[in-house]
Structure 1
Amino acid sequence: MLRLRSYIAARLLSSTSAAPTSPLHRLLSAAAAAPAVSPKNPSFAVEQYLVDTCGLTQLQALKASTKLSHLKSPSKPDAVLAILAGLGLSTTDVASLIAKDPLLLVAGVDTTLTPNVAGLTALGLSRSEVARLVMHHPSNFRLRSIVSKMHYYLPIFGSFHSFLRALNRGSYLLSCDLERAVKPNIAFLLECRLAVCDIAKLCTSTPRVLLTNPEHVQAMVACAEGFGVPRGSGMFRHMLHGVAFLSQEQIAVKLEYLKKTFRWSDAEVRVAVLSSPELLRKSKESLQLRSEFFFSEVGLEPAYIARRPVIINYSLEGRLRPRYYVVKYLKENGLIDRDRDYYNAVVLAEKVFVEKYICHHKEAAPHLAEDYATACRGEVPTRFRFA
């Protein structure tokens, strides 16, 4: 047991930053103080170890133990727990990781985990960032290729945080084959005169672009050009995002639906989509709800919306409707001009809108802030109900 304690201490990655009283350290200490089980003892109870030492529930342990039935000793999982403790992970974090990926407990400490931690920190990641990477998808931490892939991705995305946003949407970024898809796709996008920062933005919102067959990316570029958006233009990235993984037939159907729903002509729907390609990705239901609101409640004209299509992308309940109520209330009470444009109120950042349309009128309308907050929750305050 003294050997085990010394082994665990050595595996703390020579780090003094992890507090000795952290939950995981207390958990490991408790495990070390438990009755010794010989490494050769076939009676080692994996399920009980998962509960007592790793913090899993009985049900989680029962499920996880099926993947660890070959485990006959606590020595390897103890060493893995020491690595996780060195990253500053809490008992709750560890339990979540092991429940999600029980095989992490039998990963090679000397061959994989320790080199991965050393390699990632050498790339400039802090231990807390490495911990976040592990928490996101623990099976990636068992890959020996994770360091080389992070070495490739970090310059493209510009920062760990930007890459993590992409990883949240495309968990296979660290397990895919860079040579077969990712590198050819990035090379082609660079040839299309997309800047590296634009590629990062495109792939943060749609990471599948990196992972797909290069022929699909080429088809996306051809589709964007078919809309009259040239390579290298300011709208090129946005159009690529709009048409990503949509067939020509799907795009044609969506254009027809937009025309019908917003009463647009061919020219107007083209203007709208060129200005806001995101429209191609909106669901029919969301488009219908916004159309009814704009025409029936706000009283907008089709041409007005076509020239300002970005308003269709905003949240109906969280932005469009509450701000309309505020503007209408202020107009009805003579606090702003009746010709004040609704669009100008919608596009303002939240902080600016609140300052300009609510705080500015707090003396004349002291309940406006409360009513606006209520409207943002989907309710209609009495003061916002007009005959």
Structure 2
Amino acid sequence: MATIIPIRNLLSVLKKRFLVTSSVTLSPPTLYSALLANKLAMRNLLSLMQKRFLSTPIPSAASALSLDSPSSGSSPPPSSSFTVQYLVNSCGLPLKFALKVSRNFHLHENNLQSFQSVFRCFQSHNIPSIRITKLIKRRPQILNYNVEDNLKPKLLLLVQNGIVGHHMFKVFVSNPVILSADLDSQIKPCFQFLKSVLGSDRNVVEAISRSSNLLTCDLKGCLQPNIDFLIKEGVPFDGIAGFLIRDATTVQHKHNSMVNAVDDLKNLGFDPKAPVFLEAVRVRIHMSESIWREKIEVMKSLGWSEEEIFSAFKRDPNFLKSPMEKIRVATDFFVNTLNLGRQIFSEDPEFFTLKTDKSCRMRYDAFQTFGVGEADRRGCED
């Protein structure tokens, strides 16, 4: 026979569990209305009541209160209540986030020891609880990962390669896919290849810290073929290694994109051995053909010839990264307002990277206000 509890005790539990607000009175109709307003809270309540207060199941309670419409589907599994409680109380995650996650992700109470083992595993590698919480928020599924077969071997491999403490946390939180990637077929081969290119463990740590997806990238389809191709084209090996550390994303592009970018640059007269070549590759490979052509046409409309455009590009490839509107504004200011010739851009394309409106134009207006001569005199006196 079910044990009946006073409504006062029930209401107290509801408030502690944040299933109703503290403003709810003891009146049964008011309590009924509050529960009816929050369907998810009521489902969690049913599970809680069954565990804490009743000795028999209460299968008809939800239907009695008509909490679900005919089209709403089945109720959440019983584990959803425990999932929310564990994520909030044990992991320190916000209630709103826990409720959202529990719709598609579930923890089972009989695996409690396994969840605690995950915490201890990360703590044993000097990752504090607050960072473990951040990692769980990034990927709650890690609570269900097997510690002995999955987590420990991966953490050990990172430690053996010099990735410890803060670096380890940074790698996981930026790319939690590592924790589900296969150790032998994915992570180890990536480490081995990076060492063959970068040489020292220190360089490998720096590269992975900057771009943790190096451990989960398409090694055989993109990264390795691209580096082999750059070497074949005559790009110095040391330059490739440094570029891999600074900008691994570029080297992980699809191989045909890398080939097309290099071919385009060679057709423009770039020398693969020149230090600026890889910077030009980075700009070109991140820009679609349509955007590339559009920028060239915009500059032509401003009076530039293709020879002038590509001459500037060879000096400083980054100037073509500038948005088209910024190119228009810079050209208008320096050519039309300051009466500088376009050749100044060819000689020093960095003008395009300046903050024309927020910096250059404000200074120009100040000079006009105080007088260029006076401004120059004060500058000399300073």
TM-score (norm 2): 0.67
C-alpha contact 2:83 2:108 (8 A) present in aligned 1: yes
**Are residues 1:227 and 2:268 paired?**
yes
Secondary structure at the aligned position of 2:217 is classed as coil
Q: Which residue number corresponds to residue 117 of structure 1?
A: 155
Q: Which residue number corresponds to residue 152 of structure 1?
A: 193
Aligned-pair CA distance for 1:284: 0.9
Which deviations, in whole Å up to 9, do the C-alpha atoms of 1:221-262 show, x marking residues without a partner? 11010101122223321221232154555433322212323x
**Are residues 1:187 and 2:228 paired?**
yes
Moved more, 111-120 or 249-258: 249-258
Distance 1:330 1:160 in 2: 54
**Are residues 1:174 and 2:221 paired?**
no
Secondary structure at the aligned position of 2:234 is classed as coil
Q: Which residue number corresponds to residue 210 of structure 1?
A: 251
Structure 2 residue ranges without an equivalent (≥5): 1-77
**Are residues 1:311 and 2:351 paired?**
yes
Moved more, 271-280 or 67-76: 67-76
Bigger RCO of structures 1 and 2 (CA < 8 A, at least 6 apart): 1
C-alpha contact 2:222 2:253 (8 A) present in aligned 1: yes
Secondary structure at the aligned position of 1:81 is classed as helix
**Are residues 1:301 and 2:346 paired?**
no
**Are residues 1:291 and 2:331 paired?**
yes
Q: Which residue number corresponds to residue 12 of structure 1?
A: none
Which deviations, in whole Å up to 9, do the C-alpha atoms of 1:25-76 show, x marking residues without a partner? xxxxxxxxxxxxxxxxx87812101100101111111222344425332111
Matched ranges for 1:10-49 at <5 A:
45-49=82-86
**Are residues 1:51 and 2:51 paired?**
no
C-alpha contact 2:138 2:173 (8 A) present in aligned 1: no
**One-letter amino acid matched to 2:176:** P
> Taking structure 1 as reference, are residues 63 and 174 closer, same or farther at Cα in structure 2, changes over 3 Å only?
farther
Which deviations, in whole Å up to 9, do the C-alpha atoms of 1:276-297 show, x marking residues without a partner? 2223332211212222332344
> Taking structure 1 as reference, are residues 156 and 80 closer, same or farther at Cα in structure 2, changes over 3 Å only?
same
Moved more, 316-325 or 101-110: 316-325
> Taking structure 1 as reference, are residues 248 and 228 closer, same or farther at Cα in structure 2, changes over 3 Å only?
farther
RMSD: 3.1
C-alpha contact 1:264 1:302 (8 A) present in aligned 2: yes
Aligned partner (choices 90, 101, 111) of residue 139 of structure 2: 101
Matched ranges for 1:198-277 at <5 A:
198-203=239-244, 207-246=248-287, 248=289, 250-261=291-302, 263-277=303-317
Aligned partner (choices 203, 209, 214) of residue 164 of structure 1: 209
Distance 1:107 1:117 in 2: 13
* Identity value in percent: 20
C-alpha contact 1:330 1:336 (8 A) present in aligned 2: no
Distance 1:203 1:282 in 2: 23
> Taking structure 1 as reference, are residues 183 and 289 closer, same or farther at Cα in structure 2, changes over 3 Å only?
same
**One-letter amino acid matched to 2:231:** L
Secondary structure at the aligned position of 2:127 is classed as coil
**One-letter amino acid matched to 2:130:** T
> Taking structure 1 as reference, are residues 295 and 92 closer, same or farther at Cα in structure 2, changes over 3 Å only?
farther
C-alpha contact 2:161 2:205 (8 A) present in aligned 1: no
Distance 2:318 2:280 in 1: 8
Aligned-pair CA distance for 1:326: 7.8
Aligned-pair CA distance for 1:206: 5.2
> Taking structure 1 as reference, are residues 124 and 206 closer, same or farther at Cα in structure 2, changes over 3 Å only?
closer
**One-letter amino acid matched to 1:218:** V
Distance 1:173 1:212 in 2: 12
Distance 1:165 1:326 in 2: 41
> Taking structure 1 as reference, are residues 322 and 163 closer, same or farther at Cα in structure 2, changes over 3 Å only?
farther
> Taking structure 1 as reference, are residues 252 and 164 closer, same or farther at Cα in structure 2, changes over 3 Å only?
same
C-alpha contact 1:258 1:269 (8 A) present in aligned 2: yes
Which one has the largest radius of gyration? 2
C-alpha contact 1:46 1:69 (8 A) present in aligned 2: yes
> Taking structure 1 as reference, are residues 78 and 177 closer, same or farther at Cα in structure 2, changes over 3 Å only?
same
Aligned-pair CA distance for 1:133: 1.0
> Taking structure 1 as reference, are residues 250 and 122 closer, same or farther at Cα in structure 2, changes over 3 Å only?
same
TM-score (norm 1): 0.66
Q: Which residue number corresponds to residue 346 of structure 1?
A: none
Which deviations, in whole Å up to 9, do the C-alpha atoms of 1:336-366 show, x marking residues without a partner? 59xxxxxxxxxxxxxxxxxxx6xx854xxxx
C-alpha contact 1:276 1:309 (8 A) present in aligned 2: yes
Distance 1:190 1:131 in 2: 33
C-alpha contact 1:154 1:160 (8 A) present in aligned 2: no
Distance 2:210 2:253 in 1: 19
Distance 1:86 1:286 in 2: 51
Q: Which residue number corresponds to residue 67 of structure 2?
A: none
Structure 1 residue ranges without an equivalent (≥5): 1-41, 338-356, 363-387
Distance 2:338 2:208 in 1: 40
Secondary structure at the aligned position of 1:87 is classed as coil
